[in-house]
Amino acid sequence: MFELACTYLDELNPQQDCAEAARWMRQAAESGLKDAQIMLSNMYRWGIGVPRSRKEAAMWRRKAKQNMEDR
């Protein structure tokens, strides 16, 4: 899921689709993948493929931090 999301974000990909990348990134983040949680947080912070939201960005950043502390 994470790799697919990154493929959709790649600006060299003629099929680039940030909204589709966000959909796949969310699935990876919800499965507990720390890198996806951080990336989704940044996507919300900057409004890439999703509406810009500090609240969502902070939530995903907290989940990633908690995920790091649990390991």
> What does the pLDDT average to over 9-36?
94
Residues in the chain: 71
Contacts of 39 (CB under 8 A, 6+ apart): 2, 5, 6, 25, 29
pLDDT of 48 > 90? The answer is yes
Q: 36 lies in which domain range?
A: 2-69
Quickly list H helices, 10-53. 18-30, 34-46
pLDDT-derived band of residue 68, with 50, 70 and 90 as boundaries? confident
> How large a percentage of the chain has pLDDT more than 90?
86
Domain count, the chain: 1
The per-residue pLDDT for 71 is: 63
